[in-house]
Amino acid sequence: MKNNSSLAYNVCLVIGDALAITLAFTIAYVLRVSLSTVPISAEVASRNYISILVSLLPFWILIFALLGLYNAKVYDNRFSEIGRLAVGTFVGILFVISYSYITNTAIFPARLVTLYAFGLALVLVFLFRTIARGIRRELFRFNIGINNVLIVGNTPITSELATRLSNTTVTGYNVIGIVGGNKDKYLKLGCKVYSDFKTAKQSLSSKKLNTIIQAELFADYDQNDEILTYAQENHIAYRFVPGNGELFVGNIEVDLFQSVPVIAVHQTALIGWGRVIKRLTDILLGGLLLILASPIILILALLVSLTSKGPVFFRQTRLTRFNHKFTVFKFRSHNLKYSGLSPEEAFTEMGKPELIKKYRDNGDQLPEDPRLTAMGRFMRRTSLDELPQLFNVVRGDISLVGPRALIPEELAVYKKRHAILSVKSGMTGLAQVSGRRDISFDERRKLDLYYVQNWSFWNDIVILIKTVWIVVFHKGAV
């Protein structure tokens, strides 16, 4: 039997968001127009003000929807929800301002109304959603809107699912039975255990069952077909856990290949329109940043040339998408004597071979690297040595956000690096904003791989914002 509690909750969120935004704009109008003695810049009647706002509300809700704010993966994660609410509210305000400008319609009687509306909308929408979340939990306590689940299979995944879903008031799921599990093990979680699916069918009423999760695919095709057919006939949601879970890491697409149903496993979610949007962002934002940073780049180039002998830029061959080789540009931060040498060669050359092990053990970095010039140490600390890579971004060699560009030798030494090369490398990335000074080289590569397999435009926005924060406060740069 279908459970419409998620749909009902989404409807409540939409209504709550619309009411919160309307209330925010109303309070903003009252605060600035009715209660303030400061003259207003335009005469806008309250009736016209509210009517225009209400007519634009559907577009604002659409913006929230595009940001995933009505998706359980987002609204069940408070951190993700707050970030997207802030972006959605800001974009919504910009939309209203743009509408006013394009149609030459006076909407805001004063500039402060816009500022008040933004702050109030963000606070009230979050408050309304917090109240809605609290009400939903109370309903779950009384078994209202609960999703009853039957888990089929006896694997470690079965135990993991049963444990995760055991807190019904938080998850909204209630495991009413497990087929083939250890009875003593699952009785502690309050789950009834059945020896086989036929016994479970006889005991459980289909009217009470909302979801079947098959945690173990059987060798006998008829057994699997029996479970799926039962779910379909009784309109029960059906999910299964693939046997080789590692094969399904990345972007999954169900498709027909020559009339044969297949599951395509892409190494990355960055396909189709996502690649187009990402490239457009690189061109527009990267080009803008390059123009704005040009004076800084010129000043740094002059300082590098004046403070140490050698070329201004450091060039190195790196790998990007599909193993394509390109030349990366950075400001030279090493003394000319050690520039272009490997760490082993450089530390041996300076008579400090003991630093090799320290360098490798510390995740390929040293707090006080003796190879650096004074200017180079400053640029590394502030990440200013990376600015020339904006040329690489605009040229299309790399992206603003992506995994670190690999050197060719790394492919031979480290396994499973080819998956990272299914997308363009980036100036910044998940590893850089996750405390790259405090994590090992292998951990940074794992973060790069996670980014590739779980790419989203929203993740890129978050990484860019975190990068600005880290650069400003000098955290994680080496």
**H or E segment to which residue 264 belongs:** strand 260-266
- Condensed to tens digits (0 to 9), the pLDDT of residues 400-430 reads 999 999 888 777 666 556 678 889 999 999 9
Per the domain annotation, does 350 fall within a domain? Answer: no
- Considering the domain architecture, whether residues 400 and 465 belong to the same structural domain is answered as yes
Q: What is the pLDDT of residue 478?
A: 44
Higher pLDDT: 123 or 349? It is 123
Asked whether residue 397 is assigned to any structural domain, the reply reads: yes
The fraction of the chain above a pLDDT of 90, given in percent, is: 29
Q: Are residues 151 and 126 in the same domain?
A: no
Same domain, 453 and 381: yes
Mean pLDDT of 461-471: 88
The mean of the pLDDT values for the chain is: 84
How far apart (Å, rounded) are the C-alpha atoms in residues 393 and 22?
Answer: 42
Residue 247 lies in a domain: no
Tell me the C-alpha distance between 78 and 86, whole Å: 12
Looking at the structure of the chain, the number of domains it has is 3
For the chain, the C-alpha Rg in angstroms (whole number) is 28
Q: What angle do CA 218, 222, 228 make, to 5 degrees?
A: 80
Do 136 and 173 reside in the same domain of the chain? no
Question: Which pair of structure tokens corresponds to residue 381?
Answer: 């600390």
The span from the CA of 394 to the CA of 397, in Å, is: 8
Same domain, 72 and 115: yes
462 and 318 together in one domain: yes
Q: What is the percent of the chain with per-residue pLDDT over 70, rounded to a whole number?
A: 86
What is the distance between the alpha carbons of residues 89 and 121, in angstroms, rounded to a whole number?
Answer: 7
Question: Does 266 reside within a domain?
Answer: no
Amino acid (one-letter) located at 54: V
Is position 248 within any domain? no
Report how far residue 404's alpha carbon sits from residue 429's, in angstroms, rounded to the nearest whole number: 7
33-to-98, 160, 446 alpha-carbon distances in Å: 22, 57, 54
C-alpha–C-alpha distance, residues 302 and 198, integer Å: 79
Same domain, 230 and 88: no
The single-letter code of the amino acid at 148 is: N
pLDDT digits (tens, 9 = 90+) for 287-299: 999 999 999 999 9
Shared domain for 295 and 425, answered yes or no, is yes
Among residues 391, 388, 417, 390, the alpha carbon closest in space to that of 405 is found at: 417
Q: CA-CA distance, 60 to 19, in Å (whole number)?
A: 12
Residue 304 shares a structural domain with residue 186: no
**Which tokens go with 357?**
């092990």
What's the pLDDT score for residue 469? Answer: 85
Residue 391 counted as domain residue: yes
* pLDDT at res. 236: 87
Structural domain including 10 reads: 5-141
Give me the amino acid identity at 177.
G
pLDDT above 60 for 204:
yes
Mean pLDDT of 217-238: 87
Whether residue 205 sits in one domain with residue 95: no
**Residue 399's closest CA among 347, 469, 448?**
448
* Contact (CB, 8 A) for 477 and 381: yes
pLDDT (tens digit per residue) in 44-85? 667 777 888 888 899 999 999 888 899 888 888 888 899 899
Q: Are residues 129 and 178 in the same domain?
A: no
**Distance in angstroms (rounded) separating the CA atoms of residues 245 and 188:** 28
Do 346 and 371 contact (CB within 8 A), yes or no? Answer: yes
Evaluate whether residue 263 is within a structural domain. Answer: no
Work out the average pLDDT over 222-233. Answer: 88
User: Does any domain span residue 111?
Assistant: yes
Work out the pLDDT band at 207, boundaries 50, 70, 90.
Answer: low
pLDDT digits (tens, 9 = 90+) for 96-118: 888 887 887 777 767 788 888 89
| Rounded CA separation 332/427 (Å) | 16
Q: Of the residues 89, 123, 141, which one is the last residue of a structural domain?
A: 141
**pLDDT value, residue 4:** 66
Residues 131 and 50 placed together within one structural domain of the fold: yes
What is the average pLDDT across 175-186?
78
Decide which of 114, 141, 168 is a domain's last residue: 141
Tokens of 210: 């909302």
